[in-house]
Amino acid sequence: MTRSLLPALLALSLLATSGCSTYYIERGLNKLDHDNGFGQYREANGEPTEDYVDKIENARTRFERAIQSHQRDKRARLNLGLSFVKEGEYEKAMEQYNEAIEIDDEYSRAYNNRGALYEREGNIDLALQEYDTAIRHDEKFAPGHYNAGRVRFYEQNKPEAGLRHLDIAIENEKKNALYYYVRGDIHAAMGSTELAKADYAKAVALEEDFTEAADKLAAL
C-alpha cells in the first residue's frame, strides 16, 4: 500500500465534553474513518462510493446534533470540519475550524487542521504559521511537529529544522509509521544512511504494507 505525505489531520476523541454532545460525537466518530482526512472509498472515476457518502453524512448529522446540544463544543466543531474535508467541502471545513478557535484560541488541533487546509491550497507560509501556532500552544503536540517538520524539509529544504520537529513528534507518538518514514528521508538527505535505514525499518515494522518505506530501505 502506498502512503501519501498529506498533512496529518485530526479527528478528536472524547475528552471532557458535555454529556449529551458526547453521545453524538461518539456516534459520529464510529461512522468516520481516521485516515489522513482526505477520504478513501472512491470509484474508478474518482467519485466517492455511495456507501462512503452515506457514512460521512451520518457522521456529520451526529456532529451537528452535538453542536445543537452544546453550541460551544470545540470538539464537535473539529470533527464536523473533518467530515466536510472528507467530502472536499474545504470552505465549510475552514468555517468549523475557525469556530473552534474562536471558542478556544489555544486549541492546537484546530490550528493544525486549519494549517492542512492552507497547505492544500498551496499557501505554505500560512500553513507553517498554523502548525507553529499549534506547537506553541502545546509543545508536545506530535501532529503539529510532524507537519511543521515535513514542510520545512520538503518545501523549504531545511533538513536540520525538519529533523528537530520529527524527533519531537516521534518522542511523543512512537507508533506512527509516517513520522519514521519522513525522518528517514531527512536522515538520507543528510547522509546519515544507518539512521535512515533504522527509520525506514521501523516504519515497515509498524505497517508491513508500507511500500515506499520498504523500497527505500532496500535501496540503501
The rounded distance, in Å, linking the Cα atoms of 103 and 114 is 15
Helices (H), the chain: 19-31, 50-69, 74-86, 90-103, 108-120, 124-137, 142-154, 159-172, 177-189, 193-206, 211-219
CB 120 within 8 A of CB 5: no
Pick from 9, 19, 148, 157: nearest CA to 79 = 9
Residues facing 48 on adjacent strands: 42
The residue behind cell 519522513 is 182
How confident is the model at residue 88, as a pLDDT? 84
Q: Report if pTM > 0.75.
A: yes
The CATH number that domain 11-105 falls under is 1.25.40.10
The half-sphere exposure of 37 on its side-chain side, counting CA atoms within 13 A, is 25
Rg, Å, the chain Cα set: 18
Q: What is the pLDDT along the chain (220 residues), one digit of tens a residue?
A: 445 565 665 544 333 333 333 333 343 344 444 443 334 434 444 454 455 555 666 666 677 676 666 667 788 888 888 888 878 888 999 999 999 999 999 999 999 989 989 988 999 999 999 999 999 999 999 999 999 999 999 999 999 999 999 999 999 999 999 999 999 999 999 999 999 999 999 999 999 999 999 999 999 9
CA dihedral of 156, 1, 194, 219, whole degrees rounded to 10: -100
Other beta carbons within 10 angstroms of residue 94's beta carbon come to: 18
